[in-house]
Structure 1
Amino acid sequence: MSDDQKLVVEGKLADNERLKKESNLLRGTIVQDLADDVTGGFTADNFQLIRFHGMYQQDDRDIRAERIKQKLEPLHNVMLRARLPGGVITPKQWIEIDQFAQDYSMYGSIRLTTRQTFQFHGVLKPHIKSMHQTLNATGIDSIATAGDVNRNVLCTSNPIESKVHQQAWEWATKISEHLLPKTNAYAEIWLDGEKIDSTQENEPILGNNYLPRKFKTTVVIPPQNDVDVHANDLNFVAIAEGDKLVGFNVLVGGGLAMTHGDKSTYPRKADDFGFISLEKTLDVAAAVVSTQRDWGNRVNRKNAKTKYTLERVGVETFKQEVEKRANVKFESSRPYEFTSRGDRFGWVEGIDGKHHLTLFIENGRILDFPNKPLKTGMLQIAKIHQGDFRLTANQNLIVAGVPESQKQAIEDIAVEHGLMESSVSKQRQDSMACVSLPTCPLAMAEAERYLPDAVTEIESMLSKHGMQDQSIIYRITGCPNGCGRAMLSEIGLVGKGPNKYNLHIGGNREGTRIPRMYRENISDTEIMSILDELIGQWAEQRENNEAFGDFVVRAGIVKPVVDSARDFYDELS
């Protein structure tokens, strides 16, 4: 057996590989399914294929049992995730997506996500095509925001140096475009584009069978780690000299998803490959993706992500292959430091004299709530704002590029509609959850709907122990797939079943340490009791403004996760 053959996992391919091979470059029979009004859902392979077009089929699980009693199929609908490299969107685009959500979404909301974009939830089959066409008319699409492809490329959204941000965002956009699928399927199906002979098409980077598993890419500007680099397959850490971007340190192989009960799966931090100059950025991006394309595990999807490929073939072997394919030699990494990863709320003035207002959006859910009409407020801002909006990877929103003359008017709208509240605690700002129930089909426990009350309890504990001015990076994810990025928090809850979670503690504020499981499969009541005790210990024993995650490690309450492939499943504490 040759060395090349050893780099490929042998065995019966996962069924998703058959699906992709037979899909006619992602077309499948989606068009025929769209015309079928007998069911509100997509059938057979199309259920999976629509993901490559940015959609997931879902149903409202709150009413599923009642519909079964009525002998009705589940209320099938789709969630669409838009492609917005770096999270930048114009006010005109916002007005259009607001209108569509109002008219055609079952929930009427716009959901900001941890992937720095927005989602529509609850769109019924008759409205799916018009949704894509509405977005396309504004310059937005949902190509490759799901499925086994490179997904929406993230970029630090509220940096200290605004000139560097513009350059970094431009690279995030270039990387996104460079790694997109080249098939014409999206345009043919959703935009009534001209049909072409798919046998004449080719996917030079992704391959005609696409990637073994999903792939995530970021561009991050130190000292802010707001995109959580260690949650992603490929990361470009911006290195600047003054206000000029000169290159990137490249980090490869991060990822947070795991499977309950399967110790061959685990969260993993990314490895630092080294520094590259700007002109090699796209070559390196393509080389990392194509190496994972060729070497990734197509037999077992649970071990198919880049992080497992690096563990299997070795980091140095993977790195050398990237250098070979990109015709580059990684230099030693340039020094950088992450000091924070949360968003900077309120007004920040850029070096160009323009102002940026970061609004806290709990759970990223933009909707008109009682006494808090967030959606109406955002629409009113969009109608007068002359700059752009930036969605953050922490589910918040920045009104960017505001001239001094407009600052007060925008602030007045934000305050009036509950978008800007002085009463929001630092703890609430540092907390996050995935969507979970009732729409996510993978959800095992509540996340978004549980978070507000959970944070209130933690706020009460902090106050009780004299720590009301402190906060803890606290995250909830409804299943082990990692969308809420709980595996990079100081306190992380991972859904295990109805009202049951695994409790992880010991990550750090910078997002460079994975938390260890402290208690398994316990109720929210048990969790809050444990946290009350731990916060009390932290208050009494902390040293020199020590963060909660650092304290529980130093105090020996949990051992730090040093090498998750080998020690993540060590004894709980």
Structure 2
Amino acid sequence: MSTEAPKLSPVEKIKEESQFLKGTIDTEMAADSDHFGKSDIQLLKFHGTYQQDDRDKRLELKKAGGGKAYAMMVRCRIPGGRITSEQMLAQLDLCDELGDSTMKITTRQTLQLHGVLKKDLRATIHRINEIQLSTLAACGDVNRNVMCCPAKRADGVHQAMVQLTDELVTALAPQTPAYHELWLTDPETGEKTLEGGGPIVEPLYGPTYLPRKFKVGIALPEDNCIDIYTQDLGFLAVVRDGAIIGYNVLVGGGMGVTPALKRTYPALAKRMAFCTPEQAVEVSKAVIKVQRDHGNRADRKVARMKYLVDEWGVEKFRRAVEEQFGQPLADCEPDDVTGFDDHMGWQDQGDGKWSYGLNIENGRLYDNDKRQLKAMMREVCRTFGTELRMTGHQSIIVTDVDPADKDKLIEIIKRHNVPTTEETSTVRRWSMACVALPTCGLAITESERRLPSLIDDLEQPLAKLGLDKERFTIRVTGCPNGCARPYNADLALVGKAKDKYTLFAGGGWLGNRLAYLYKDLVPSDQIAGEIVAIASAYKANRNDGESLGDFCARVGQEDLTVMAAAAPTP
């Protein structure tokens, strides 16, 4: 039997030779070129930016004999989606001045800019840091943006979750000084323009960081609004007598799939153990160290922690975590997810103030002749000046609204032709899509640009069926990588070929069950009909109180196909 170590993937070599993520980014930044080289493209992800090109312009440029229309996507790290009005205004300025004039709220409660030119990248990241935000670890093979329930409440439970979120962000952040050297230091003088940086040391990650990206989320049993079962590491709060006594620790969730490789698959996290609030940070470090030391570094397609957890089994994985942690952990408490609140509309904070959740379709903030979402956000920020919180469904919450100012907020929203949450259909409110075309290099089909018209085609038939108030999730991704978390939704569309999608069914809005493949290679123009047929079958055959996802899971793919074909359509 061979004792040779497995051959590492090319990205591992890039990380190892990068001098803790510095690479040759500074040299390439100074070069007269509109794009970065292959090695630095990988390293830039750790700094919060992806190199992309506008695929709408490829053919046009090719015909003209030119290259690609390169630009950078820049993503912030915004723990729990919490951002001040001042920071939001600054981000809106950035998207107008250095981006493509739009901004995207992501499915991980943060913001990303598109269309930033290479020559403007340093200025963009520098300005983000000037407003006390960061892009470090928003992407790359490290812990990314920590998700947490965005609801603002006066109770100690939500405050404790926010505290843990901030502790995890600090404890799990990369320590390399390369970020400060590249983006916060004057390239002419070498002087730091913002404080930060330190000696080259990565006590948690080591010189090659993690085998793949890593995602953490914190949720409540009655409110799984951050999709805890899709996280690499989840902390499910265990509450007794109004206080968090600890967390059920879940490990091994992840959505990405490579369709041609059967060894890849979506996975929901598994319940591993219970930890006290005081243990949570060190437990998270222990989990990361196990993945760091044992995750697959030869094949990035199976490098997520879910594959290690499945290969070992959760008990062996738990023993390895306990060894890193230094002591045994208690077994999980019986608490599990039971509800999901999207926090839209008016909600009482419990301190005399109110929060208003505004549905932002697919998270895209823009201004055009029909709607002025950016202008609306600017006026809201300037008028109220309160904290904003972004949700895991790409929407936004305005907090700390005085009861006397409720009508003022709604008036601002309506004056900019933005639909209020109350004016938004249930099916649109519970849908979401990834960016996909034209900027995502992985996209096979449309997603964000396709979903609104699909919802248009569904609203009237659902109303005729009497299902317009029925809550179910529809999620669309332009490729199987699953950035919009499709594989645990009631219904989902995943790009498979040009203008064709795989239709999944049988997950659920609760997020704790995987969907199954219902039909493959569905043409784009047939999607609405397929979904209406499923809805019709649901209406005719459901049990009392049964959700659409529960119904699809109960009857299975074969029977659902028969029922959908037989059900009368509106």
2:290 equivalent in structure 1:
291
SS in 2 for 1:335: coil
1:496 equivalent in structure 2:
496
Deviation at 1:554, TM superposition (A): 1.9
Choose from 16, 19, 22 the match for 1:24: 19
Deviation at 1:369, TM superposition (A): 3.0
Q: For the residues of structure 1 that align with 2:37 and 2:65, how far apart are their CA atoms?
A: 19
| Paired AA for residue 392 in structure 1 | T
SS in 2 for 1:467: coil
Matched, 1:94 2:88: yes
Q: For the residues of structure 1 that align with 2:556 and 2:15, how far apart are their CA atoms?
A: 48
Choose from 53, 64, 71 the match for 1:70: 64
CA contact (8 A) 1:238 1:245 kept: yes
| Paired AA for residue 68 in structure 1 | K
Matched, 1:155 2:154: no
Deviates more, 1:511-520 or 1:408-417: 408-417
Deviation at 1:159, TM superposition (A): 6.5
Deviates more, 1:245-254 or 1:331-340: 331-340
Q: For the residues of structure 2 that align with 1:30 and 1:425, how far apart are their CA atoms?
A: 46
Runs of 5+ consecutive residues of structure 2 not aligned to the other structure:
561-570
Q: For the residues of structure 1 that align with 2:555 and 2:215, how far apart are their CA atoms?
A: 35
Deviation at 1:525, TM superposition (A): 2.7
1:390 equivalent in structure 2:
389
1:451 equivalent in structure 2:
451
Per the alignment, do residues 346 and 421 of structure 1 end up closer, same or farther by CA in structure 2, a change over 3 Å counting?
Answer: closer
CA contact (8 A) 1:500 1:523 kept: yes
Q: For the residues of structure 1 that align with 2:96 and 2:147, how far apart are their CA atoms?
A: 27
Q: For the residues of structure 1 that align with 2:339 and 2:277, how far apart are their CA atoms?
A: 25
Deviation at 1:408, TM superposition (A): 3.0
| Paired AA for residue 288 in structure 1 | V
2:568 equivalent in structure 1:
none
Per the alignment, do residues 120 and 272 of structure 1 end up closer, same or farther by CA in structure 2, a change over 3 Å counting?
Answer: same
Deviates more, 1:11-20 or 1:337-346: 337-346
CA contact (8 A) 1:57 1:77 kept: yes
Deviation at 1:307, TM superposition (A): 0.4
CA contact (8 A) 1:284 1:326 kept: yes
Q: C-alpha offsets along residues 342-401 of structure 1, whole Å, 9 cap, x if unaligned?
A: 512111111111110100000000111323211001001111224200011110000012
Normalized against structure 1, the TM-score is what? 0.93
2:169 equivalent in structure 1:
176
CA contact (8 A) 1:151 1:215 kept: yes
Choose from 106, 110, 124 the match for 1:113: 106
Deviation at 1:100, TM superposition (A): 1.1
CA contact (8 A) 2:54 2:438 kept: yes
Q: For the residues of structure 1 that align with 2:213 and 2:191, how far apart are their CA atoms?
A: 27
Q: C-alpha offsets along residues 16-65 of structure 1, whole Å, 9 cap, x if unaligned?
A: 1100001010000001111112x211113011110010000011110111
Per the alignment, do residues 345 and 199 of structure 1 end up closer, same or farther by CA in structure 2, a change over 3 Å counting?
Answer: closer
Q: For the residues of structure 1 that align with 2:422 and 2:140, how far apart are their CA atoms?
A: 40
Q: For the residues of structure 2 that align with 1:199 and 1:482, how far apart are their CA atoms?
A: 36
Normalized against structure 2, the TM-score is what? 0.93
Runs of 5+ consecutive residues of structure 1 not aligned to the other structure:
561-573
CA contact (8 A) 1:433 1:448 kept: yes
CA contact (8 A) 1:265 1:302 kept: yes
1:543 equivalent in structure 2:
543
| Paired AA for residue 405 in structure 2 | Q
Per the alignment, do residues 167 and 421 of structure 1 end up closer, same or farther by CA in structure 2, a change over 3 Å counting?
Answer: closer
Deviation at 1:282, TM superposition (A): 1.0
2:566 equivalent in structure 1:
none
Q: C-alpha offsets along residues 78-100 of structure 1, whole Å, 9 cap, x if unaligned?
A: 00110011110001111111111
Q: For the residues of structure 1 that align with 2:120 and 2:264, how far apart are their CA atoms?
A: 38
Q: For the residues of structure 2 that align with 1:122 and 1:504, how far apart are their CA atoms?
A: 32
SS in 2 for 1:557: helix
| Paired AA for residue 333 in structure 1 | C
Structure 1 residues 472-483: aligned runs within 5 Å = 472-483=472-483
Deviation at 1:331, TM superposition (A): 1.6
1:144 equivalent in structure 2:
137
CA contact (8 A) 2:152 2:349 kept: no
| Paired AA for residue 246 in structure 1 | I
Deviation at 1:269, TM superposition (A): 1.0
CA contact (8 A) 1:60 1:74 kept: yes
CA contact (8 A) 2:232 2:306 kept: yes
Matched, 1:262 2:261: yes
**Structure 1 outlier segments of 4+, above 4 Å:** 159-162, 193-196
| Paired AA for residue 176 in structure 1 | V
Deviates more, 1:544-553 or 1:13-22: 544-553
Q: How many residues align?
A: 552
Deviates more, 1:167-176 or 1:548-557: 548-557
Matched, 1:82 2:81: no
1:51 equivalent in structure 2:
45
Deviation at 1:160, TM superposition (A): 6.8
Per the alignment, do residues 467 and 378 of structure 1 end up closer, same or farther by CA in structure 2, a change over 3 Å counting?
Answer: same
1:568 equivalent in structure 2:
none
Q: For the residues of structure 2 that align with 1:181 and 1:553, how far apart are their CA atoms?
A: 41
Deviates more, 1:511-520 or 1:464-473: 464-473
Deviation at 1:456, TM superposition (A): 1.8
CA contact (8 A) 1:386 1:401 kept: no
2:556 equivalent in structure 1:
556
SS in 2 for 1:442: coil
Q: C-alpha offsets along residues 265-299 of structure 1, whole Å, 9 cap, x if unaligned?
A: 00111111121111111110100001000000001
Matched, 1:428 2:428: yes
Q: For the residues of structure 2 that align with 1:374 and 1:279, how far apart are their CA atoms?
A: 42
CA contact (8 A) 1:86 1:156 kept: yes
1:514 equivalent in structure 2:
514
The percentage of counterpart residues that share the same residue type is 37
| Paired AA for residue 17 in structure 1 | E
CA contact (8 A) 1:505 1:558 kept: no
Q: For the residues of structure 2 that align with 1:163 and 1:354, how far apart are their CA atoms?
A: 16
CA contact (8 A) 1:158 1:343 kept: no
Deviation at 1:500, TM superposition (A): 0.8
CA contact (8 A) 2:76 2:111 kept: yes
Structure 1 residues 242-321: aligned runs within 5 Å = 242-321=241-320
SS in 2 for 1:401: strand
Deviation at 1:199, TM superposition (A): 11
CA contact (8 A) 1:348 1:356 kept: yes
SS in 2 for 1:502: strand
CA contact (8 A) 1:377 1:419 kept: no
Per the alignment, do residues 345 and 405 of structure 1 end up closer, same or farther by CA in structure 2, a change over 3 Å counting?
Answer: same
Matched, 1:322 2:316: no
Q: For the residues of structure 2 that align with 1:493 and 1:484, how far apart are their CA atoms?
A: 10
